[in-house]
Amino acid sequence: MHHLSEQELIRRDNLAKIREAGIEPYPSEKFEINCTSHEIKSNYADGEDTYQDVWLAGRLMSKRIMGKASFGELQDSTGRIQIYISRDEICPGEDKTLYNEAFKKWFDLGDFIGIRGYAFYTQMGECTVHVKELKLLSKSLRPLPVVKKDDEGNVYDAFTDHEQRYRQRYVDLVVNDHVRDVFVKRTKMYNSMREYLNEKGYLEVETPILQPLYGGAAARPFTTHHNTLDMKLYLRIANELYLKRLIVGGFDGVYEFSKDFRNEGMSRFHNPEFTQIELYVAYKDYNWMMELVEEMVEKVAIDLHGTTRVQVGENIIDFQRPWKRYTMYEAIQHFTGVDISNMNEEDLRNTARKLQVHVDDTMGKGKLIDEIFGETCEGNLIQPTFITDYPVEMSPLAKKHASKPGLVERFEAICNKKEICNAFSELNDPIDQRERFEAQLELGKRGDEEAMVLDEDFLRALEYGMPPTAGLGIGMDRLAMIMTNQASIQDVLFFPQMKPEKEQSQAQ
């Protein structure tokens, strides 16, 4: 049982007194609102006859008692507005004295109230609502953290402990205005992308999260069990193989905002569940898809910021098309001076060691190249950059390059030192696909826990014929971090995964 603090005991006492006075602290009837605090503050001009009958609801965030009059601040979903209460005027029914006394003595900061009144400007020039009617809508039994701002707008003494904020996002959103803005922008980002793809006539679809075989990426899955069927199921690591089945089925373009799950480490860039958008379009290739990505992400930047230039940490990142392009081998050569394009596995392992890149014996050729690229190139790529033409070993689901033996038609977009998207000309040769899956099985035997498994039904679908197709996956959380200037994935997820609180306190 939670041990009640002195403040919480006072609030419970106030709750009892409110009940004794005949005021219901959790009324059931609705409270009609006809405007917002932001609307009044943005549009009301002193002396006008607008906003003379406003109904507002929100949290009481401050109160100052001054004899017969009281001032307070009401916070709704759009911001805060000052309220003025005169003892002789508030009147729900005939209880003005009762309600005035209750407001002064027993209403606490954080309580939800509904008010009816009219807008005016105080002598200090502050837009205020003069309250004629006041109603308690919900009593708050825990005090909110006190947030203060200095004259320059710096916040201090606030709810600033990151772990507390992630655990109690509901409090974070109440007291830290900027947090709400991040999540509003995140939703706008989704809307912007939906708009773009829907306009092109692509179909938004849903595919299974519980899968009998996980596939479509290189990652460790979460495992669960279905009792009735008595079978093992996996939480999806990607939705790729299902969306490709839909292309086989005759759709020209399908996309899904996909909540995916990977049973791996956590960091500033990794949460066990995360969101991707995956898009598959028939009769296109990866060059066409590169142009779509540039155009769509440029649109997102403009929709969120009114410009293609976005502040991220110390950098201004410009999403204006066209973006810079390197092949993977060109990028490695550019940043290390070493040409690895003709190296075998042994040469690559030695090169990695010379470049002080950590490698081990479970790594095949693809993984070695991936590690070299990750350690020596990614950290230099701040502006959005396409890396193209990956070695075949790195890409079990991508089509072999039309003119470059040993490579596939694949690109990743790297921005602010991290991959934000991955795309291919999709492999649609079922025989080649079976061989690639089998090569992955061999890697699995060598101890690579991220190697893919063989999906017979997916191969069967390919054998019915899949048209040439371009496929894309964009990490929505990573893109949200960039578009809202947040350094950690936890800051763009309402409820990031956390260790249990008990364990934490024992650890301390």
- Examine the fold and report which residue of 144, 161, 193 is the final residue of a domain before the chain moves on: 144
> What pLDDT, on a 0 to 100 scale, did the predictor assign at position 506?
43
Region 428-432: mean pLDDT is: 94
294, two tokens: 């540039």
Helix %, strand %, coil % of the chain (to 5): 35, 25, 40
Task: Clarify whether residues 191 and 93 are in a common domain.
Answer: no
Region 345-373: mean pLDDT is: 91
Task: Clarify whether residues 132 and 238 are in a common domain.
Answer: no
Region 289-305: mean pLDDT is: 98
Q: Residue 72 falls within a domain, yes or no?
A: yes
| pLDDT > 60? residue 69 | yes
Spatial distance between the Cα atoms of 382 and 296, rounded to a whole number of angstroms: 19
159-183 pLDDT per residue, tens: 788 888 999 999 999 998 899 999 9
Going by C-alpha positions, the residue among 104, 130, 102, 127 that lies closest to residue 116 is 130
pLDDT band at 508; cut points 50, 70, 90: very low
Region 175-194: mean pLDDT is: 96
205, two tokens: 């679809």
Tally of domains in the chain: 2
Going by C-alpha positions, the residue among 212, 214, 211, 218 that lies closest to residue 449 is 218
Q: Is the pTM of this model over 0.85?
A: yes
CB 130 within 8 A of CB 118: yes
Among 108-122, 185-199, 206-220, 270-284, which is the least confidently predicted range? 206-220
Region 194-203: mean pLDDT is: 98
- Examine the fold and report which residue of 90, 125, 144 is the final residue of a domain before the chain moves on: 144
Task: Clarify whether residues 316 and 399 are in a common domain.
Answer: yes
Task: Clarify whether residues 123 and 183 are in a common domain.
Answer: no
Region 332-344: mean pLDDT is: 94
Q: Residue 155 falls within a domain, yes or no?
A: no
Spatial distance between the Cα atoms of 479 and 396, rounded to a whole number of angstroms: 25
Phi and psi for 136 in degrees, rounded to 5? -80, 125
461-484 pLDDT per residue, tens: 999 999 999 999 999 999 999 999
Region 147-161: mean pLDDT is: 66
358, two tokens: 């950590």
> What pLDDT, on a 0 to 100 scale, did the predictor assign at position 50?
95
Task: Clarify whether residues 122 and 254 are in a common domain.
Answer: no
Task: Clarify whether residues 115 and 182 are in a common domain.
Answer: no
219-235 pLDDT per residue, tens: 899 999 999 999 999 99
Spatial distance between the Cα atoms of 223 and 313, rounded to a whole number of angstroms: 37
For the chain, the average pLDDT equals 92
Q: Residue 443 falls within a domain, yes or no?
A: yes
Q: Residue 156 falls within a domain, yes or no?
A: no
Residue with tokens 């507002």: 56
Residue 206 vs residues 203, 275, 280: alpha-carbon distances, Å: 10, 13, 13
Instruction: Compute the half-sphere exposure of residue 22: CA atoms within 13 Å on the CB side of its CA.
Output: 7
Task: Clarify whether residues 391 and 447 are in a common domain.
Answer: yes
Task: Clarify whether residues 314 and 388 are in a common domain.
Answer: yes
Task: Clarify whether residues 220 and 139 are in a common domain.
Answer: no
> What pLDDT, on a 0 to 100 scale, did the predictor assign at position 501?
82
Rounded (5°) CA angle 361-365-367? 75
Q: Residue 83 falls within a domain, yes or no?
A: yes
Region 109-113: mean pLDDT is: 96
Across 164-293, where does the E strand assignment appear?
203-204, 210-211, 223-226, 231-235, 253-261, 273-282
Render 330-363 in DSSP notation, one character per residue.
Answer: HHHHHHHS---TT--HHHHHHHHHHTT----TT-
Spatial distance between the Cα atoms of 337 and 314, rounded to a whole number of angstroms: 28
Residue 337 vs residues 190, 200, 355, 452: alpha-carbon distances, Å: 40, 42, 11, 32
| pLDDT > 80? residue 448 | no
Rounded (5°) CA angle 58-62-67? 115
> What pLDDT, on a 0 to 100 scale, did the predictor assign at position 218?
81
Spatial distance between the Cα atoms of 31 and 136, rounded to a whole number of angstroms: 10
pLDDT band at 445; cut points 50, 70, 90: confident
Q: Residue 458 falls within a domain, yes or no?
A: yes
Q: Residue 160 falls within a domain, yes or no?
A: no
Residues of the chain above pLDDT 70, percent: 94
| pLDDT > 60? residue 157 | no
Spatial distance between the Cα atoms of 53 and 44, rounded to a whole number of angstroms: 12
| pLDDT > 60? residue 133 | yes
- Helix or strand (DSSP H, E) at 317: strand 315-318
Task: Clarify whether residues 55 and 138 are in a common domain.
Answer: yes
Whole domain around residue 318: which residue ranges?
178-323+383-507
Q: Residue 365 falls within a domain, yes or no?
A: no
Task: Clarify whether residues 189 and 269 are in a common domain.
Answer: yes
Region 85-101: mean pLDDT is: 70
Task: Clarify whether residues 286 and 433 are in a common domain.
Answer: yes
Region 70-99: mean pLDDT is: 82
CATH number at residue 480: 3.30.930.10
CB 193 within 8 A of CB 277: yes
CATH number at residue 100: 2.40.50.140
pLDDT band at 505; cut points 50, 70, 90: very low
Region 36-50: mean pLDDT is: 94
Phi and psi for 371 in degrees, rounded to 5? -65, -45
Q: Say if strands 273-282 and 385-391 run parallel, antiparallel, or are unpaired.
A: unpaired
